[in-house]
Chains A and B, each alone.
Chain A
Amino acid sequence: METLLELTMTPAPELVGMARLAVSLVAHRLNYSCAAVEDFQVAVGEACADAIAYGRRAMDADATLRVRCSVGSGLFVIIVEASGRACDEPQRRHQGPFPSEQTLSRLVLDALMDTVAYRCAPGRGMSIRMARALPTDERARTTTAAAPPRTAQIP
């Protein structure tokens, strides 16, 4: 896989907009349609909100949020990871007559991305891996040699 973007930041709600914008720029460079770019923005926002909520539950003061975008095997892959010592398995149960925010988030991610995988392990935090097929003209290009990642550190 070729890493295109890696953002490491504190899991602060005010930074989610920046992560969404950064991923949308990468998706735009990959020649996705405007509608698809919008889908990625929404998906990253949902995943980051989920990860931030996880960080709060885990009560880890040193938690970090990492967003990584990569391409390979005809796929655009976005991984959103939250560090944390605790493991809080996502709750899928509905609470009362209305769905929870987490349930809404999962519905959105499942609808917008081709595949979504959630991982949560004690001491290793949680991650959400989302993938979508690359636009046709980009699939061949991903077989070329990998370029060094563009990395950003946000305090």
Chain B
Amino acid sequence: MSNLIGLTVRTRRVNARTAVVTLEGEMDIFTTPRARATMLRLLDDGCHDLIVDLRQAAYLDSTALGALLGMLRRARERGGGVRLLAPSHSVYRLLEITRLTLAFPIDATEHDALAAVGGRQGDA
């Protein structure tokens, strides 16, 4: 049986170290494993800076937040990081409730996110 809304995961490599992961739909206990596997593959493939595009993410639950935290830990261990791009009001509220706004850098536009990653990579 399929989920009622489901999740579409798209990836785009910006350069050897950076990728944009776009999440569209609902990321919950059912759909999170697929998104997690996609992000893990990118990390293992050398993309240590992930920009997670949440502009079309309608809903994230604690399973999804836990997966994003797991990616953040792994990315940091490799000298990279995870940035969140433009979460909706409801998703941002969840991030605030769980205080994850303190853990993840959040950018309003992809341009801002790429500039922040590029600047950090340039500093390294």
Contact = CB atoms under 8 A, between A and B. Distances in A.
Given A16-B28, A17-B26, A98-B72, A42 B2 contact: no
A59 interface: no
Interface string B32-72: 00000000000000000000000000010111011001101
A38 interface: yes
B106 to A, nearest CB: 17
B87 to A, nearest CB: 14
A152 to B, nearest CB: 15
A58 interface: no
Contacts of B69: 98-99
B95 to A, nearest CB: 10
Given A16-B29, A98-B72, A98-B73, A49 B2 contact: no
Interface residues of A, number: 29
A62 interface: no
A2 to B, nearest CB: 27
A105 B62 contact: yes
A46 B72 CA distance: 22
Contacts of B73: 96-98
Nearest to B61: A45
Interface of A: 12-18, 21, 38, 41-42, 45-46, 48-49, 52, 96-102, 104-105, 107-108, 111-112
